[in-house]
Structure 1
Amino acid sequence: MGKITELLSQRFSVRSYLQKPVPQPVLDDILEAGRLSPSGGNEQPWRFGVITDPTLINRIAQIAHQQEWIAGAPLLIVLCTAFVENERGGRVIQMHRFPEYASAVAEMDQDLYWSLNQEEHQTKIAGTHMVLAALEHGVGACWVSRFEVRSLAALLNLPPNILPSEILVFGYPQNRQKPTPKKSLTEVTFFNSYKES
Structure 2
Amino acid sequence: MILDLLNKRCSIRNFKNKKISSDIINLILEAGRLSPSGGNEQPWKFGVITDKKMIHQIAEISYNQSWIKTSPLLIVLCTVIVEDNRGGRSIQKSRFPRYKKEIDEIEKELYSYLNLEEHQTKIPGTHMEICALENGIYSTWVSYFDVEKVAKALRLPHNCVPSEIIAFGYPENELKLKDKKSINELTFYNCYVEDER
TM-score range, shorter chain: 0.7 to 0.9
SS in 2 for 1:80: strand
Aligned partner of 1:7 in structure 2 is 5
Q: Find the structure with the greater CA-based Rg.
A: 2
* Contact 1:57-1:76 at 8 Å conserved across structures: yes
Aligned partner (choices 165, 168, 174) of residue 167 of structure 1: 165
The equivalent residue for 1:18 is 16
Return 173-182 or 59-68, whichever deviates more: 173-182
1:33 paired to 2:59: no
In 1, the alpha carbon distance for the partners of 2:102 and 2:63 equals 28
Q: Secondary structure of the equivalent of 2:140?
A: strand
1:176 aligns with: 174
Against the structure 1 CA distance between its residues 140 and 168, is the aligned structure 2 distance closer, same or farther, given a 3 Å change threshold?
same
In structure 2, the partner of 1:187 is 185
Matches of 1:119 and 1:70 in 2, distance apart?
23
- Taking only the aligned residue pairs, the percentage that are identical comes to 55
RMSD: 2.3
Give the C-alpha shift of residue 86 in structure 1.
6.3
User: Which of 145, 148, 152 does residue 147 from structure 1 map onto?
Assistant: 145
> Structure 2: which amino acid aligns with 1:66?
N
Aligned equivalents of 1:180, 1:47: Cα separation in 2: 31
Tell me, what secondary structure is at the counterpart of 2:35?
coil
* Aligned residue runs from structure 1 range 44-59, under 5 A: 44-59=42-57
TM-score by length of 2: 0.83
Distance 2:117 2:165 in 1: 16
| CA deviations over 1:61-87 (Å, ceiling 9, x no partner) | 000000001011110000100012265
Q: Please give the alpha-carbon distance, in whole angstroms, between the structure 2 residues aligned to 1:78 and 1:138.
A: 20
The count of aligned residue pairs is 177
Aligned to 2:193, the other structure's residue is in SS state coil
Distance in 2 separating the partners of 1:15 and 1:166: 16
> How much has 1:175 moved relative to structure 2?
1.9
Q: Post-superposition, which runs of at least 4 consecutive aligned residues in structure 1 deviate over 6 A?
A: none
Q: How far apart, CA to CA, are the structure 2 residues paired with 1:38 and 1:161? A: 21
